[in-house]
């Protein structure tokens, strides 16, 4: 088991690892649309935060030698489930057509630092 924090997305003093490797499985902590190295959310509402979430996930994976193609399952939490369509418009651009991870989405009553969206993922080596 390997616990990893690159420091490229969130400060390393937070009480969780950005990525944990267990055998051939990768567990990524939930990512919000924070600007790298800060706890400030990206501008642009759901679209801007979704783009930043996906960039943060990509950065975390690449910092440890992986990529979006390693993702097999994502869970999406939305502060407003009514923004599911707007989330999807941005999300789908990060994957090759027909190569989307399995996914679940649900509305949440409050996300960290007032985020509009949070995504956590499981990957495979």
CB distance 7 to 47 below 8 Å = no
Domain over 2-124 is classified CATH 3.30.1330.40: yes
What is the pTM assigned to this prediction? 0.95
Q: Identify the CA nearest to 41 among candidates 119, 121, 116, 120.
A: 116
Classify residue 34 by its DSSP letter: B
Helix (H) or strand (E) holding 101: none
What integer pLDDT is reported at residue 111 of this predicted model? 97
What integer pLDDT is reported at residue 13 of this predicted model? 87
Low-confidence ranges of the chain (pLDDT < 50): none
> CA–CA separation, 6 vs 33, rounded Å?
17
């Amino acid at each position: 088991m390997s616990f990893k924090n690159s420091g490229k997305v969130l400060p390393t003093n937070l009480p969780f690892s950005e990525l944990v490797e267990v055998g051939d499985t990768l567990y990524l902590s939930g990512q919000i649309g924070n600007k790298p190295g800060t706890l400030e959310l990206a501008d642009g509402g759901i679209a801007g935060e979704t783009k930043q979430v996906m960039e943060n996930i990509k950065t975390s994976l690449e910092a440890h030698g992986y990529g979006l193609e390693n993702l097999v399952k994502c869970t999406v939490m939305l502060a407003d489930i009514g923004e599911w369509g707007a989330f999807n418009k941005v999300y789908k651009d990060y994957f090759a057509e027909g190569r989307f991870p399995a996914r679940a989405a649900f509305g949440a009553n409050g996300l960290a630092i007032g985020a509009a969206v949070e995504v956590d993922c499981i990957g495979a080596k």
